Amino acid sequence: MSDTLAIIGGTGLTQLPGMSISNAHDVQTPFGSPSAPILEGQMDGHRVLFMARHGHPHRVPPHEVNYRANLWALQNLFATDVIAVNAVGGITRNMVSKALVVPVQIIDYTYGREATVYQGELSGVTHIDFSYPYTESLRQLLLKSARAVSEPVINGGVYGATQGPRLETAAEIFRMEQDGCDIVGMTGMPEASLARELKLRYASLSVVVNPAAGKGEGVITIKEIEENLLEGMERVKRILHQSVAAFYRR
Ligand code: HPA
């Protein structure tokens, strides 16, 4: 079977406009149930899989997402490439609200999450190389697609993955900035490393929805997050639509 693109939608993206759905797969995995049925369908005549990371209609918070089941289920339906959409807070100067970012590196601050598919009786190597956590070809596909629809995106940046569900303190963000983080979110890990374990190509399209703690004026409000999310996701959808076309044209 040829390559298949899957999209994992984050907060604000629970379905893909322009996708005609032919199947909703209730996949059971060795790790339990995914967040939602995986939607299979066509976009401009191409096979696409879509999963709502936080469930649909149920809301699974970032620290309770069954990342292992989600990724395993996508692979089970023959996904080869995964584009993840993530809402994030902006830390460094260019990472302003509504900016779209295709990050290049990750620092993982999460804890207590089920972070590997390697368990039980194992034979063979279980230490994946994770030097470059995102797949460069898929990053380039996103960047090229964004250019094609004239949507500015920031190429690069370090994604700091926090445990949540609370937002960070200003001091934590200060420390993350010292560490080299540009954006902060709660869903980037272990999703990216599980994708690598399962040999799925993986990249993130991140949407800045608020200045991270201590970086804006006053406290972070859900209202500002929701407003930025709404606008950001419209742009994300245009890029994704173009990415699907470009993926199958390669
Ligand atoms: N911190 C962590 N996760 C987030 C944020 C944030 O500021 N905004 C959106 N997701």
What are 14-70's pLDDT values in tens digits? 888 889 999 999 999 999 999 999 999 999 899 999 999 999 877 899 999 999 999
CATH number of 5-119+127-249: 3.40.50.1580
Q: What pLDDT shows up at residue 247?
A: 96
For the cut 70, the answer to whether the pLDDT of residue 143 exceeds it is yes
Which DSSP symbol is given to 62? G
Q: Which residues line ligand 1 (CB under 6 A)?
A: 87-89, 162, 167-168, 184-186, 209-210, 212
Q: Give the position, in ligand 1's atom list, of the atom nearest the Cα of 62.
A: 3
For the cut 80, the answer to whether the pLDDT of residue 72 exceeds it is yes
How far apart are the CA of 168 and the centre of ligand 1, in A?
Answer: 8
Sorted by where each begins, the domain ranges of the chain are: 5-119+127-249
Cα 123 from Cα 20, distance rounded (Å): 41
Residues 6 or more apart whose Cβ sits within 8 Å of residue 4:
47, 48, 49, 77, 78, 79, 80, 81
Residue 63 carries which side chain, given as an amino acid letter? Answer: H
Asked if residue 57 lies in contact with residue 94, where contact means CB atoms within 8 angstroms, the answer is no
How far apart are the CA of 212 and the centre of ligand 1, in A?
Answer: 7
For the cut 90, the answer to whether the pLDDT of residue 123 exceeds it is no
Stretch 170-178: mean pLDDT, rounded?
A: 98
Cα 194 from Cα 133, distance rounded (Å): 10
Q: What pLDDT shows up at residue 172?
A: 98
For the cut 90, the answer to whether the pLDDT of residue 2 exceeds it is no
153: confidence class by pLDDT, cuts 50, 70, 90: very high
How far apart are the CA of 69 and the centre of ligand 1, in A?
Answer: 23
1: confidence class by pLDDT, cuts 50, 70, 90: low
For the cut 80, the answer to whether the pLDDT of residue 125 exceeds it is no
Range of weakest confidence among 55-59, 120-124, 184-188 = 120-124
For the cut 70, the answer to whether the pLDDT of residue 82 exceeds it is yes
Residue 175 carries which side chain, given as an amino acid letter? Answer: R
52-75 exposure pattern, b = at least 16 Cβ within 10 A, e = fewer: bbbbbeeebebbebbbbbbbbbbb
2 burial class (0-12, 13-18, 19+ CB within 10 angstroms)? Answer: exposed
Q: What pLDDT shows up at residue 173?
A: 98
For the cut 90, the answer to whether the pLDDT of residue 122 exceeds it is no
Provide the mean pLDDT of the chain.
Answer: 95
Stretch 136-157: mean pLDDT, rounded?
A: 98
Q: Give the position, in ligand 1's atom list, of the atom nearest the Cα of 86.
A: 10
For the cut 90, the answer to whether the pLDDT of residue 207 exceeds it is yes
For the cut 90, the answer to whether the pLDDT of residue 96 exceeds it is yes
Residue to substitute in 174, 186, 223 for testing ligand 1 pocket (most ligand atoms within 8 angstroms of CB): 186
Residue to substitute in 86, 101, 167, 174 for testing ligand 1 pocket (most ligand atoms within 8 angstroms of CB): 167
Q: What pLDDT shows up at residue 126?
A: 85
**Which carries the bigger pLDDT value, residue 175 or residue 121?**
175
For the cut 90, the answer to whether the pLDDT of residue 12 exceeds it is no
